[in-house]
A and B are shown apart, each in its own frame.
Chain A
Amino acid sequence: MHPDHDRQRPSPEAMLRAAQAEERQHRRGQLTIFLGYAAGVGKTYAMLETARQRLAEGREVVAAYVEAHGREATEALLEGMETLPKARYPHQGVELAELDLDAALDRRPELALVDELAHTNAPGCRHQKRWQDIEELLAAGIDVYTTVNIQHFESASDIVTQITGVPIRETVPDSLLDQATEVMLVDIPPEALLQRLRQGKVYVPEQASQAIRQFFRPGNLLALRELALRRTAARVDDDMRTYMETRAIAGPWPVAERLLVCAGGSPYSERLIRATKRLADELKAQWFTVYVETPRLAKEQQENRQRVWRDLRLAESLGAEVATITAPSVPGAIIDYAVRHNVTRLVVGKPAKPRWRELLRPPIVDRIIRLSGSIQVHVVSFQPAPPPAGTVGRIRPGIGSWTDYLVSLALVAVVTALPFLFWRDISPTNQIMGYLLAVVLAAVRFGRKPAILTALFGVMAFDFFFVSPRWSFTVADTEYLITFFGLFTVGLVISTLMAETKMRAEALRERELQTESLYYLSRDLAVAIDTTSILEAVRKNVGEALEAHLAVLVPDPEASERVRIAAASEGLTLDAKEMAVADWAFRNRRPAGNGTETLRSAQLLYLPLYTAIRTFGVLGVSLAATADFFSPHHRRLLDAFAAQISLAMERVDLARQAEQAQVLEARESLERALLNSVSHDLRTPLVTIIGALSSLHGEALSLSEPKKRDLLRCAWDEADRLNRFVGNLLDMTRLEAGELRINREPCDVQDLIGSALTILDRKLADRDVSVQLAENLPLVEMDMVLMTQVLVNLIDNGLKYSAADSPLEIAARLDGDHLLLEVRDRGPGVEEQHLSRMFEKFYRLPVPEGASGTGLGLSICKGIVEAHHGTVYAVNRAGGGLRVVCRLPVQP
């Protein structure tokens, strides 16, 4: 792919990959695997020996789970080492000892020893497999030493089964071997191992002893040893390659290969996938696994979807890129995908099918080879073998309900009976039409197989009842054989076509439903502006589309790394165990629960809702049928839903952050203004007060009586001003903090105006103030104290901004169901551009000589009036002056 000269320097991608891998190693714990080729080679012993060295070096080592199998030498090594108690799980009357994962996570040692990587956990454990426990330990930053035999690696298990004839049930993904920081090969010669076995030094479980003895044959051991040595060598090779690649050491780089394998859910798919993985490893190639869904196969796929899903997940865990495509033909789709992804080799299986079936329909393999062009095709053949035990049993192809067949037969009987009952002279040709009709009906109604049966019985009935000699299957006129053949073939074709059309329509309908539900969800999510509306959209759309019960769980603000239910379908409750599974999915950003590998005993499936930025919560899903949890259809749809929900949650989160930033900015600018105002407006009066008082205190004797009086008057006025300012500040703070409680009661507007004027009595002195009250003003619901303050502020403003001899008018009238309260002055008015801003906080108009304000009075008025659901605004008066209007609802 890359020209050779590009390889002279490490490519940036390679550097980045190496750096990222290193970083990941830093963050995660490091995994050391002690690899053996059979039980009894001394893996646990080697692990403990190495661990003791680490302990001697001063590292914190804890034996989280070590199985000594009663060997003294091994137990001696465990002495003096901190050992965690094992968790006990009762299972079918036996108590099973397992790794206590939570205890290990809580203990959080530097290095944990966990024996037997490939172990399958007892039911009730968090994970199905021990390697998943170890993954979690690593993710928590704990280094892990573990032991495993070569036959347990997924890609090796097939070979081992072939070599030894013993099926391997406990497998671990090969990626663990690649992920391990170090792989230590524990090796002894097979003779020595056999001798140890004879001496009884190797632990052999009683119930499996027969199989194990079969396993421990010299030939097997040699082959397994070679396998282990080769895997280790390949790994060393790999390390070397990484080293050379990052340091620009020229080497014999292979041309990049890309492999493609097609998963079809057949019993051989799994082996095919493992074979491809081996090939890909040897070629250091990227590989893909695709699953082609065709309308024709849709029904079959329904039946074996569990296995297809399992295959795809296996491929993914082995490192393949997995895709599902929908296309009318399998070979065409595979070749198309291969060409688009520059695939160089195709791996296909050659199932052993009877020859005659190949004649009827050429196997897919042949068609692929014909279409493949320049792509190499590897055909892997398999011996027919029973499906591996322990997996879900092979699902028999659906044969439909027996009533379908019965009704089909009844149709044939009816058609046969018609001429006998009603129409004695019907010609044989038309009688055939009757049978054809029955075939079509059966095809439409019941599908392919009942239709074929109908065709078959139709032919037989026609022969028996209508073709001479009648009442016998013998045919006198051989020409009728053509009729028979024609009738049967037409029946076959029609039924196949009908069945296909029906399935296609069904597949389309399903697809359409899914698309539709996704569309509705995304449409509803697009307009969701807060978490509540997101939750509502999810509950409505996802619940309906999948006929599922849902719970959306969001981070619990009171407990870190825990989730709480934000919304749930009616009747769905989650107990502590379910919540623990949800917590796990949330913490680890991985699906958990029903239908997954982790904590599968849970009732619900938990999908984490996360984006690149953060995890927003968990979607808990309870599907109607157990099988649905394993269905790729459902999972794909759920994954799509989860992705949509995550994005919507992220959007809401970002919007909220932006809003917060805006609020913060506004608050900061307000605080700046406040600080300016406070430092100026608090100090200025103090200057006068302190100055006046100090001169009265110190030089009282030398001052003349009128001068003293003047000074006192100044100090008093300023103290008054300070008092007002502090009051305003307090009011503003209360308004801002939302602490201002409106205490509504019916108020007489005249009384309100009177109170305000009484308060301002001293200032009004001999101002010409006129009050214009409309007739029959009703009592208005308002907070008298606060509204008095508003009026005082407005009148005070009017007084300040207008000449001492100019008149001031206060008016109250009704406008519909609103009270208009006006204060009018004959001052200079306000420039238009200031009119709308004058009610803002700390906004000061150019102040005429002698008038001083805090810039708060009007904004307090605005706050109070708005708290009464009213508005306040100012307009310039014709003929000069300003008119400030409060518009209050009479009834709140």
Chain B
Amino acid sequence: MKKLNISVYRYNPDVDNAPYMKEYTVEVEKNRDMMVLDLLLLLKEQDPTLAFRRSCREGVCGSDGLNMNGKNGLACITPLSALKGGDKKIVVRPLPGLPVIRDLIVDMSQFYTQYEKIKPYLINDDKTPPARERLQSTEERAKLDGLYECILCACCSSSCPSFWWNPDKFIGPAGLLNAYRFLIDSRDTATEERLNELDDAFSVFRCHGIMNCVNVCPKGLNPTKAIGNIKSMLLNRAI
């Protein structure tokens, strides 16, 4: 058996004056790896007051986005062996930049407000809708790959300093990845209106391409590339 030292961000606004880090020790079998979520569940057996979100436990629902040893990710698909310095100490904090509701649970309202702004649904002004589905060629459909897979876990946006400083104005990498998903969709006819909504000093252009979003995306997506493509679309229109 080996001992794991874990430090977890705790804050219950009903009883705590300020957030604090609580130290835990858990004994696990030697040479056995596990996901951070499994470890949190072991901690919850020790201390039932610990609060965190989780649902599917397989990286699909996006509920358990956390900051683990300084890097954002999904607790359910992050093995302890992948944590930098995890053999010495495991530090679990809520996603940075978002208001904490309790312990590891954050208020995602700002994140969803930005997502709503980009109108994340297909807009088509066809007067007569087709009798069946709107067809796409293989090439047109391929353009959506790497975009539609986003699960809105907020790991990217909450690792982005531009989103930390202006969460009310900058759409953030997750929202912009989804914005591009609809801008490039051959079935969407609101491209011009969508671009008009994004062409200000904050919504898109506050991204300076530091690629924190790409570094943390648990689905391996590339929001920086999508944002670059939106910038190109805006500039092609402007010049």
Do A and B actually bind? no
The residues of B with any CB-CB pair to A shorter than 8 Å are: none
